[in-house]
């Protein structure tokens, strides 16, 4: 439980401390699931959350007064990178990294006292109710209405693409409260208990056959007025604050390092015409290109981080890092599928759930190789150039904010 404070931060010592913790505390079955691209259940996320919480490290972006680590941006970067490379599950962002900073900045004393400890403990699972049919990139076009009546807001409308709504206890939600005002002006930020009568959830099956995202419908849902965060009609301020958070996590350098290592292992293990693919000069060139891009991304990340810490920056750092990180991560999965060749073709649902593999092994049935999950992983990662702002939208921001076009 060292390294709680920013002062006296020594990168090598801190990295070694994080590595030692991961070596001791990351459960092998969770690590195997992450490295093998298998699906994580709610219980898997909660288990890792609890291990981090016990260590005092579950909220790296929170100040110490609320139970966070108080780490600097650089410490958080090192921590995220080490966790990803080791194969730790990512913590679910909606509570810890999205709504919590908003509650800290704009919430009432009661909201802080109620929700922050429950996010820290993992008691409440949150989901994000921003997007609607017809309001994604153009978020201000949202139509879900909240009308104030007798101490409650009555909410009617629909959200979509809501990640893990099926697990959620709470949703932070953008709703229209002023129906005359234009675009952003009449929007408010509400906290909604997902067990409130009138809420229904319909799963959306994604390309890889999984159910991660949902449609959420509100039919006369009554939300206490005390669940409004910040001022009425000023929810856009909270929304923008939330989206500007975690600007440096967007590049996911650690995950790309892990996936590149997976690709390199595949190339060593796959033998074609008596030679491992790794010995093929075209593959060697392809991997070198990815390594160079990853190194460039890492250095860009560190450079932008340092610049912003010195008070500089153009304001489009998050967009630059998300765009570059996404492009590289998708390129690595494409090469993984190519390297696995025909072995990536079978799409076997059971490959995504290790219990089935263990059962199969016990019964003497053939299990699944780790290449069996590659097609699913490849398909799943198409989402990263859409959520959190599409590639095209990031390019618009970069051209306007950073390049002044």
Ligand X SMILES: Cc1cc2nc3c(=O)[nH]c(=O)nc-3n(C[C@H](O)[C@H](O)[C@H](O)COP(=O)(O)OP(=O)(O)OC[C@H]3O[C@@H](n4cnc5c(N)ncnc54)[C@H](O)[C@@H]3O)c2cc1C
- Count of chain residues binding ligand X (CB under 6 A): 19
Residue 390 neighbours by CB under 8 Å, 6+ apart: 137
Is position 219 an interface residue for ligand X (rule: CB under 6 A)? no
Helix (H) or strand (E) holding 153: strand 152-159
Is position 163 an interface residue for ligand X (rule: CB under 6 A)? yes
Selected range binding ligand X among 175-183, 278-286, 358-366, 388-396, rule: CB under 6 A:
388-396
Closest by CA to 128, choosing from 105, 86, 100, is 100
CB of 127 to ligand X, least distance (A): 6
Strand spans (E) along 51-97: none
Q: Using CB positions, name the residue nearest to ligand X.
A: 136
- Residue 172's φ and ψ, nearest 5 degrees, are -95, 135
Q: Which is nearer to ligand X, 21 or 161 (CB)?
A: 161
Strand spans (E) along 244-284: 271-272, 275-276
Is position 45 an interface residue for ligand X (rule: CB under 6 A)? no
CB of 309 to ligand X, least distance (A): 28
Draw the binding track, 101-130, toward ligand X (x: CB under 6 A; -: no contact).
--------------------------xxxx
Residue 208 sits at the vertex; the CA angle it makes with 203 and 211, to the nearest 5 degrees, is: 20
Q: Which is nearer to ligand X, 3 or 223 (CB)?
A: 223
Q: Which is nearer to ligand X, 216 or 260 (CB)?
A: 216
Is position 131 an interface residue for ligand X (rule: CB under 6 A)? yes
Is 246 annotated as catalytic?
yes
State the Cα–Cα distance between residues 255 and 253, nearest whole angstrom.
6
Per CB under 6 A, the list member of 245, 264, 396, 401 interacting with ligand X is: 396
Burial zone of 201 (CB within 10 Å; 0-12 exposed, 13-18 middle, 19+ buried): middle
Per CB under 6 A, the list member of 390, 397, 401, 402 interacting with ligand X is: 390
Q: Residues 383, 206: contact at Cβ < 8 Å?
A: yes
Can you give the binding site for ligand X, defined by CB under 6 A? 127-131, 136-137, 161-163, 213, 383, 386-387, 389-390, 392-393, 396
């Amino acid at each position: 439980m060292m390294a709680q404070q920013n002062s006296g931060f020594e990168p090598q010592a801190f990295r070694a401390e994080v590595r030692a913790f991961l070596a001791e505390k990351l459960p092998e079955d969770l690590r195997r699931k992450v490295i093998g691209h298998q699906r994580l259940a709610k219980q898997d996320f909660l288990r890792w959350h609890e291990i981090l919480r016990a260590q005092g490290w579950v909220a790296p972006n929170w100040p110490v007064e609320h139970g966070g680590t108080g780490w600097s941006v650089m410490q958080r970067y090192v921590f995220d990178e080490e966790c990803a490379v080791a194969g730790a599950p990512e913590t679910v962002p909606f509570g810890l990294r999205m709504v919590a900073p908003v509650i800290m900045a704009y919430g009432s004393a009661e909201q802080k006292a109620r929700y922050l400890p429950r996010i820290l403990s993992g008691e409440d699972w949150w989901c994000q109710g921003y997007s609607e049919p017809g309001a994604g990139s153009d978020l201000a076009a949202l139509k879900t209405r909240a009308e104030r009546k007798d101490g409650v807001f009555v909410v009617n409308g629909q959200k979509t693409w809501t990640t893990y709504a099926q697990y959620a206890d709470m949703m932070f939600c953008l709703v229209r409260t002023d129906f005359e005002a234009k675009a952003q002006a009449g929007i408010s930020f509400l906290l909604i208990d997902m067990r409130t009568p009138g809420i229904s959830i319909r799963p959306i099956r994604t390309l890889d056959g999984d159910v991660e995202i949902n449609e959420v419908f509100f039919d006369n849902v009554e939300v206490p007025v005390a669940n409004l965060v910040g001022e009425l009609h000023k929810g856009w301020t909270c929304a923008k604050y939330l989206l500007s958070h975690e600007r440096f996590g967007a590049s996911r350098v650690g995950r790309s390092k892990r996936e590149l290592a997976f690709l390199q292992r595949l190339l060593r293990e796959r033998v074609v015409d008596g030679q491992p693919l790794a010995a093929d000069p075209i593959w060697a060139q392809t991997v070198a290109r990815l390594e160079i891009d990853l190194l460039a991304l890492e250095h860009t990340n560190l450079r932008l981080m340092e610049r912003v810490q010195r008070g500089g920056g153009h304001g489009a750092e998050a967009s630059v890092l998300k765009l570059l990180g996404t492009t590289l991560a998708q390129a690595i999965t494409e090469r993984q599928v190519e390297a696995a060749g025909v072995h990536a073709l079978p799409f076997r649902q059971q490959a995504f759930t290790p219990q089935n593999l263990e059962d199969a092994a016990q019964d003497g049935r053939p299990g699944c190789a780790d290449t069996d999950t590659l097609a699913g992983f490849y398909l799943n990662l198409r989402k990263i150039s859409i959520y959190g702002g599409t590639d095209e939208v990031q390019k618009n921001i970069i051209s306007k904010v950073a390049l002044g076009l």
